[in-house]
Amino acid sequence: MADQKISQLNAYTVAATTDLLPIVDVVNGLTKNITLQNHINTWVKDKYFTNRPALYYGKYSGAGSPKPTPVERGAVIGFSMPIYNNDDEELFFRDHIPGRWDEASDIVCTAKCYIDTANTAGEKFQFQLSWSNSAMSGVVVSNTTTDVKKETTIVSGTQYAAYLVDFTIDWDIVNPDIAGGDLLACRLRRIAVEAGGDECEGEIVVVDITLKYKVNKIFKDS
């Protein structure tokens, strides 16, 4: 829903409902009665909340040598990821599902990354997001994950070209459904492209992860 001016809001009379909120249009001085929900909808209807969870190394290997390898480019620091081969080259992150989420729409996880080597347009790389949810209260933490693959085709093969990789987390695909207040635990691996695909050269550097939730509340206490 696009942002609305006061003059565009639906007006109500006392006969229609008793839950009215008068709003004065400062331009023309006219008062319009709207419902409280109508007012709240201008803040939350079809709006999204984006969170940025912390990224964690796969594991530390040897004397302070983390995997994936941290790399710097200017002010940007990221994690350089080869194709996973049972070698701890993976990233973990987790989030507290916000109470503002509508509990009825899928969650979008976005990995922000760049290629560290010049490549040819049309070549590909692929990531796999594995996730699980848990209420973390009186339950057994699951040892299983739901895996989502996303293959990306290189458009610009210029060295250090940036890409956004979006994953859809299906909120009701497993039992129990994801709910507000749950722990959402995630693991990210780079995996080989599907058979017949042309794997790009070099490694992919992940610099950020975001989780986007559709909301239907302004505030909630969990």
Distance CA 207, CA 194 (A): 24
Question: What distance lies between CA 159 and its chain's CA centroid?
Answer: 26
Instruction: Indicate the pTM of the whole model.
Output: 0.82
Instruction: Name beta bridge partners: 33.
Output: 22
Given a contact cutoff of 8 angstroms between Cβ atoms, the answer to whether 98 and 213 are in contact is: yes
Distance CA 84, CA 89 (A): 6
- What's the confidence (pLDDT) of residue 136? 83
Q: In the chain, what are the domains? A: 6-44 (no CATH), 48-215 (2.60.120)
Distance CA 123, CA 17 (A): 60
Closest by alpha carbon to 204, among 154, 166, 146?
Answer: 154
Distance CA 201, CA 50 (A): 32
pLDDT in single tens digits along all 222 residues of the chain: 455 555 666 665 554 555 666 777 777 777 777 766 666 666 677 889 999 998 888 876 666 678 999 999 999 999 999 999 999 999 999 999 999 999 999 999 999 999 999 999 999 999 999 999 999 888 888 899 999 999 999 999 999 999 999 999 999 999 999 999 999 999 999 999 999 899 999 999 999 999 999 998 877 766
45 phi/psi in degrees, rounded to 5: -65, 125
